[in-house]
Structure 1
């Protein structure tokens, strides 16, 4: 009995994969359908399901192909796809590997334009509140465009014709092709570093949507939005519209129109100055006429015709006040004089001068008595003081020592009896002119009857 050869799952899957790869009809297929379960991986790969009303197929678009897309694949979008069909060995499923993708029924660039426009509008980049006012009289105008294009020539000639006082500063940039976006962004950054630029014109001449596409890129739009200098967008012709036009502070249909918006017309300025001069002249003339009329009315008014009648009431009032002041002064003087006379009579009636003399005499007598009493008292006190001095002098032990007496001290205390002393003790003897120290050799007691 022969054994049947069994294949492993991996071998069978590889066999099927080779069959898919060998089929020329699966190497380059064109498929249209609806996107579902779209997942854009952080690595840049895109995974989705392509379906119609009857079938679906798993699909993958790797980063190398996805990076070329101008639009963002979204759920439910109808697309036209080219790619190849093969087997994914890990799951054993066949899937479509996408090489290119474009919207079904609308151009990819147009779809990308609408998607970015919708996204930026949602973020508020087109809001009028962010738009900056253009300066009325700019001194330096920056231009971001191709160095040798027609746009820079049109801008320069227009500014020189309309407002030759303005200085033009060109920041050359590539405005078409793969290098256009970083070139425009770098030019914007460079222009912003110049603090003297008053307004920026960014743009180029006309062309296809592919030629103008750099001004539809998100990086350029955000750079324009974040620029602190007012920007005029002038991309293409009047019928061309780009994302840069929506983000800029002002849109011009052409580069020439942008230059006209950036600077005032010299003739218009002269006309405006003349108009302002005429307006000021008329205004001052009317004001002078008005003031002259007011002056005439004032001069012809009743108070100005009879000016004395204006201050007559005040003169009469002042006269009345002066009369009242004079009467008040006279009355006050009379009252003060009467009071003075009354006091004078009272002083004369009481004769205070004689009383003062009598009191002076009494005072002198009292002083004399006090003086005699004070002298007597001082004499008594002096006699008592001298008596006390004589007594103290008689009792002073130092005076007794002058007659040959002395004082014995034992250990600092006065010894007034031999009973306080012992033979062999050392004592101090105080004399009139000093102290001696001596040792007791013998002690003799007096009889009881001795004094």
Structure 2
């Protein structure tokens, strides 16, 4: 036979399970727990106080019960959002099957402890690079729509909208009102931040609230909110508290403003100042243009006053006579050279004529050539080359005649 609760034939009754769970939980012993009060219920006719304790860094909560006197005699006023440390024993109520922590002591978290925890979180986020200046997104010069996250009807909302509208009347706002302190602040702010970051017309997001104590500003040092700001693609401006206040969201945001009014001045340009700047730039540019024209005109005047530009043909005229003289000398030298060369050619021609065969023929000599059949004429060198019957060609000064050789003749001399 199986043990009780190990088979459908032998199940545990409800009371059996409840009693066993209560026994297991009862063995855990008392523990110290830190959290933020999300809800406190004090019923008029009951001596038991019911508290919901929330973890600020996670979406988790725990139910507490304690005697009414423990709440009324606590060292700090117990309200929603109060950070406390409680000492209690886990308890399982078998009648309803619910778990709670039976609290016997409540202590307030000191300011020093809060600041130390904020400093530890600051070092953690800094080590992860969330404060790196290279990750800061630039604020647009003239945002069309400003997303504003702040408390309902708060002074911060009035200051930002009034100052920004006075500086640039055409500016538009998308206001998301949330609680800015207490246990519900972080979830509402994160939800509004995500909605504005996803809005296509929102150019910059401002997270604003007035001053307050360290406990009041604690949501703006929450790790969840800081990481959500770092994930935004829209530039985020932190305007929390006054100048001395420095929650962690100031370090993560793309721009920290000392006050909400300072945020309005830093994200929206002043119409009057911008118009004055435009007028001043126009005057300065006009003056600079006039000065440039005057300088260029002075430079042109100086260039035109130089002789080479004032009388550009003077240099050519001064060289004209020199050019004419050079041309006459060149022509004279060329003519003389032609005359000398002509005389030399004439002398050479005369010498050539004197030494040539034509002059010899003119003196009565003749050139006799043998004309062989089908061959080229050859100069007659010997009588042996002209036997009887050989055809001869006789060239004289005024022409040539042909003859037939009769052989070697007797010497007539």
Say whether residues 1:316 and 2:318 are aligned partners.
Answer: yes
Match in the other structure for 1:141: 145
Label 1:199 to 1:366 Cα distance change in 2 as closer, same or farther (>3 A). Answer: farther
* CA distance in 2 between partners of 1:369 and 1:121 (Å): 121
* TM-score, scaled relative to structure 1: 0.48
Label 1:81 to 1:195 Cα distance change in 2 as closer, same or farther (>3 A). Answer: closer
| Alignment check: 8 A CA contact 2:238 2:257 kept | yes
Q: CA deviation at 1:260?
A: 1.6
- 3-state SS of 1:143 partner: strand
- 3-state SS of 1:201 partner: strand
Say whether residues 1:165 and 2:170 are aligned partners.
Answer: yes
| Alignment check: 8 A CA contact 2:205 2:237 kept | yes
Match in the other structure for 1:240: 245
- Encode CA deviations 1:12-42: one digit per residue, 9 max, x unaligned: xxxxxx9xx89xxxx87999xxxxxxxxxxx
- Encode CA deviations 1:92-124: one digit per residue, 9 max, x unaligned: xxxxx9999979854543332222123333444
Say whether residues 1:274 and 2:276 are aligned partners.
Answer: no
Equivalence map 1:46-445=2 (5 Å): 67=55, 82-83=87-88, 106-136=111-141, 138-146=142-150, 148-150=152-154, 151-170=156-175, 175-193=180-198, 197-284=202-289, 286=291, 303=306, 307-308=310-311, 312=314, 315-317=317-319, 319-336=321-338, 338-339=340-341, 342-343=344-345, 345-347=347-349, 349-350=351-352, 368-369=374-375
Larger radius of gyration: 1
| Alignment check: 8 A CA contact 2:148 2:176 kept | yes
Q: Which has the higher helix share?
A: 1
- 3-state SS of 2:125 partner: helix
Q: How many residues in Structure 1 have an aligned counterpart in Structure 2?
A: 290
Match in the other structure for 2:403: none
- Encode CA deviations 1:417-439: one digit per residue, 9 max, x unaligned: xxxxxxxxxxxxxxxxxxxxxxx
Q: CA deviation at 1:265?
A: 0.9
The Cα RMSD (Å) is 5.1
- Encode CA deviations 1:198-257: one digit per residue, 9 max, x unaligned: 433222344554443332112322332344443221123444331111222322233232
Q: CA deviation at 1:162?
A: 0.9
Label 1:338 to 1:121 Cα distance change in 2 as closer, same or farther (>3 A). Answer: same
| Alignment check: 8 A CA contact 1:65 1:100 kept | no
* TM-score, scaled relative to structure 2: 0.52
Q: CA deviation at 1:263?
A: 0.8
Label 1:368 to 1:264 Cα distance change in 2 as closer, same or farther (>3 A). Answer: same
Q: CA deviation at 1:155?
A: 2.7
| Alignment check: 8 A CA contact 2:57 2:222 kept | no
| Alignment check: 8 A CA contact 1:230 1:249 kept | yes
| Alignment check: 8 A CA contact 1:65 1:99 kept | no
Label 1:341 to 1:262 Cα distance change in 2 as closer, same or farther (>3 A). Answer: same
* CA distance in 2 between partners of 1:121 and 1:368 (Å): 123
Label 1:353 to 1:202 Cα distance change in 2 as closer, same or farther (>3 A). Answer: farther
* CA distance in 2 between partners of 1:323 and 1:235 (Å): 97
* CA distance in 2 between partners of 1:102 and 1:363 (Å): 157
Higher relative contact order (CA 8 A, sep 6+): 2
